[in-house]
Each structure stands twice: as structure tokens, then as C-alpha cells.
Amino acid sequence: MLPADNLRHTKLPLNNGSGAIPALGFGTLIPDPAATRLATKAALEAGFRLIDTAERYRTEREVGEAMRDVFKEGKVKREDVVVVTKLWNTNHRPQRVKPAFEASLKKLQLDSVDVYLIHTPFAFRPGDEQDPRDANGAVIYDKGVTLLDTWGAMERLVDDGKCRAIGLSDVNLEQVKGIVDAARIKPAVVHVESHPYLPEWELVNYCKENGIVFQAFAALGHGSDPRLLDDPVVVAIAGRVGKTPAQVLLAWAIQRGTAPLTTSKTPGRIRENFDVSFIPEDGVREITEGIRLRVRFNAVVETGVPGFIPRGT
């Protein structure tokens, strides 16, 4: 017998006592502004109640406009939507954190966000250039600030009541442990690439032990090769349970206790990705134990340079 099927409405508690956030989320890493606006609106209308954006994606303005429209139409209430955005690498100096956060609020047309993440653990040269490079094309890092310095400024945003929770993105286990051990306010969310080709079990288990929500991006493999959506194990389970490969991958992610993020510009796929229901436990096990291929699609964790954002934007 499968449990009552409300998988798509699964919520995961935040470890600072400020409520819970949906496991299933919609990401807005979409290069075209008009497409971002339409997709965000479609996602909210389809039922998604967690929207992920970032200063670096340059989609906060469009996400803000889409939310404003949907809220105005009375279809969804602001308090029912969890908004996640991120501090970019060029704003790691503590004195830059609050201004960057306030600039994000302004673009989003909000008074507060629910979750604010440090986008990557790499500090870049502070300034307006999001991708600072030297004459040889090498990234210019900022050696004058540590991740813990930045974290202290993030904690002060929670103190100010402007964001419910804070977290880390594109970090490894050691970096998460370093912040958890030293922080006054522990990270509530860790947001990294994860899917059956990169299950990150060690980090998932550490997050579970510490009550940290493990948010998984590229949950469908980012449309890259090798195509996770065409994986024979996933396709076979989808055929057996009468769901699509995307729905199977999202069910696997939620059933193993993580919070998957997907992106789509296509309204039909957006609805498909919200229509997630339980798959049998043997299907979950088959994916966990039967898929042995290991692939990281996004090298952002190695350099801080986002692999999925076209250079020059």
C-alpha cells in the first residue's frame, strides 16, 4: 500500500523553528526575461509554492513581476509562497551583504524573503562586475574575506527579521560542517546539484542529522548529456507506474528526503513536474542501487563560476 498521495505537498521543517518549506520547488535559471516571467506565473498557477532565484541569474525582476501579477489576481497569497534568492560571489564582504540583499528585495518587490543563500563559497573581487577576470581570463578572487565572515552578515539579516532562514549553496560537506560548527545561526538549507548520477548521500545524511533541508538542483539532469531522463532504469520504472521519467525522478528525490528543484519554460512540463506522486519503494531502491553512473553536470563547486549561465551575461 502506498501512503496517501500528497507527495507534491511535502514540506520540510526549517531548523530554526520558522516553519517549513515545500520539498518541490521551481527554479528560474532561464536566460530569456519574458520566458522567465511566463514560466514563473505558470509554475505558481500549476501549484508550485517554492520559487528559487538569484542575483546572478538576473531573473529577480521578472520573478517579482510574475509574483505581483499572480498575487494581484488573488490566485495565490504571498504568505503561501516560499521565495529563495542568493547572494552573489562579488558581495561576500560583510558590508556588501545587506545592500545586496536589499537590492534583491527591491527587484522582487517584496519586504522579506524566506530563504537567503550564499550562492557559492567563492568570494570574487567586490564590485559591480559579476564575473571579474584578469588579462589572462582568470577569475579574480577576493582573499580578504572568509565564508564565516559572510555568514556573520547573513545571520544579522535573520536578526533584522528580513529573511526567515539562511543557507549555503554549491558547498561540500567540509564547508557545511565548518559553518555548522562555528555559526550562531545554523544553515537551514544546503542547495547543491543532486540527482541519481550525483546522489551526494554523505551530504544528504549529514543534513538529515542536523535538520538541514537538502535542496537538489538539476534534479532532472539539466537537459544535459548523458540524459538522465532517458536512463533505462528511470524509463522502465516510469513505464511500470504510469508516470513520466521526470515525475519518477522527482518522486525519488522527495521520497529520499530531499527537496528537488526543476526548471522549465514549457507550461505542459511545468504542470507535469508538479504532478508528482509516490512511486513504490522498490522503484526508489532500484534507482538508488541500480544506477551506478556518476556525473556532475555543473562545475560551479570547483571554481565558483556558474556552469549553467552563459559567459558574458
Ligand X SMILES: NC(=O)c1ccc[n+]([C@@H]2O[C@H](COP(=O)([O-])OP(=O)(O)OC[C@H]3O[C@@H](n4cnc5c(N)ncnc54)[C@H](OP(=O)(O)O)[C@@H]3O)[C@@H](O)[C@H]2O)c1
Look up 141 and say whether it is catalytic: no
Q: What distance in Å separates the CA atoms of residue 245 and residue 198, rounded to the nearest whole number?
A: 17
Looking up cell 528559487, which residue turns up?
52
Residue 120: which residues within 8 A CB-CB, separation 6 or more? 89, 169, 170, 171, 300, 301, 304, 306
CB of 74 to ligand X, least distance (A): 26
User: Which of 11, 93, 208, 265 is the binder for ligand X (CB under 6 A)?
Assistant: 265
Nine-digit cell string for 256: 529520499
Taking CB under 6 A as the rule, does residue 214 contact ligand X?
no
Measured from the CB of residue 299, what is the shortest distance to ligand X in angstroms? 10
Binds ligand X (CB under 6 A): choice among 44, 272, 276, 278: 272
Size of the site for ligand X (CB under 6 A): 30
Report the residue from 176, 262, 284, 286 that binds ligand X according to the rule CB under 6 A: 262
Write the secondary structure of 140-179 as one string of H (helix), E (strand) and C (coil).
Answer: CECCCCCHHHHHHHHHHHHHCCCEEEEEEECCCHHHHHHH
Cell of 70: 499572480
- Does 313 bind ligand X (CB under 6 A)? Our answer is no
Nearest distance from residue 146's CB to ligand X, in Å? 20
Other CB atoms within 10 Å distance of the CB of residue 107: 19
Which position among 36, 85, 169, 258 is part of the footprint of ligand X (CB under 6 A)?
169
DSSP, collapsed to helix, strand or coil, labels residue 128 as coil
Query: Contact positions toward ligand X, by CB under 6 A?
Result: 27-29, 52, 119, 169-170, 191, 217-223, 229, 246, 261-266, 269, 272-273, 298, 300, 306, 308
